[in-house]
A and B are shown apart, each in its own frame.
Chain A
Amino acid sequence: MAQGIRAYFGHITDVVTTFWEGLSVTLSYMLRRPITVQYPDRVEKRVADTLPPRYRGILEVDTAVCTGCMACERACPIGVIKISTDKDPGNPKQRVITQFDIDVGKCMFCGLCVEPCPTGAIAHTREFEATRKHVDSLVFRWVPDPAKPVPFYRPVKGQDAPRAPVGEILRRCLAAASWIERPSFLPEERKP
Chain B
Amino acid sequence: MNFPHTIWRRLRSRWQHGDVKREVDEELRFHLEQRTAENIAAGMSPDEGAREARKRFGNLQSVREECRDRKGASFGETLIQDVRFGLRMLRKNPGFTTVAALTLALGIGLNTAILSVAYGVLWRPLPYPNPDRLVIVASAQQTETGVKTFWTWAPVTYDALRPRVTTLDQLAAYNSIDAQLAGRGEPLQLQALEVSPNFFATLGVKPARGRAFLTGAGAPDDDRTVIVTDRLWRTSLNADPAIVGQSISIDGVPRTVVGVLPSDFSFRPVVRIGALPEPDIFLSNRWPGDTGRNAFLFLLGSLKSGVMRERAEAELTALVNDPLIAPVGALAPEGVFAPNVRTLVRAVGLQDYGTQSVRKLLLILLGAVSFVLLIACVNVANLQMARLTARRGELSVRMALGAGRQRIVRQLLTESVVLSLLGASLGVILARIAIDVALPFVPPFLLPRLGGIVIDARVMAFCLGLSLVSSLLIGLLPALRVSGAAFGEGLALHAGAARTTGDRQGDRQGERLRTLLVAAQIAMTLVLLIGAGLLIHSFVRLTSVSPGFALSGRDGVVQTVKVTLPERLYDKPERIHAFARGGLDRIQNLPGVKSASLINSPPFGMPFIRDEFGIEGQPKPTLDAGQPKIAAGYFKTMGIPLLAGRDFTARDTAEAPKVAIVSERIARAYFPGGPGGALGRRVRLGDRGEWLTVVGVVADIRQMGLDGDVQPMIYVPFQQERGFVLRFVTFVVRTATPASVVRGIRAEIRRAAPDLPIESTVTMDEAVAASVAQPRFRMLLLVLFAMTATLIATCGIYGLMAYAVTQRRREIGVRMALGAQRRDVLRLVLTRALRIVVAGLIVGLAGAAGVTRMLRTFLFGVTPTDPIAFTIVTLLLMAVGLMAAWLPARRAAKTDSMEALRSE
Partners in one complex: no
Point out residues on B near A: beta carbons under 8 Å: none
Point out residues on A near B: beta carbons under 8 Å: none
